[in-house]
Amino acid sequence: MDYVSALLPPIVMAVAFTALVVTIIKNQGGANKAKEDALVDAALARAEGAQQQGPAGPARDS
């Protein structure tokens, strides 16, 4: 009976990992894809805009 208690945790973890992978794959695309793409595009646009403005540090007098 010790072999059952030794094998149970790895089996439970394998089932949980499989369920996680299936859930991730099912949630790819679908109705939320356009919303996720829009959020990424907005974040990239903000990052590019901040990069083009340059650093906003104090002016140096030389």
* Residue-level pLDDT at 61: 57
Span 15-36, pLDDT tens digits:
999 999 999 888 777 777 778 7
In this prediction, residue 11 has a pLDDT band, given cuts at 50, 70 and 90, of very high
Q: How many helices (H) and strands (E) does the chain have?
A: 2, 0
Asked which of 10-19, 22-31, 36-45, 53-62 is least confident by mean pLDDT, the reply is 53-62
| pTM for this model (two decimals) | 0.47
Domain segments of the chain as ranges: 1-30
Q: DSSP for 35-59?
A: HHHHHHHHHHHHHHHHHHH----PP
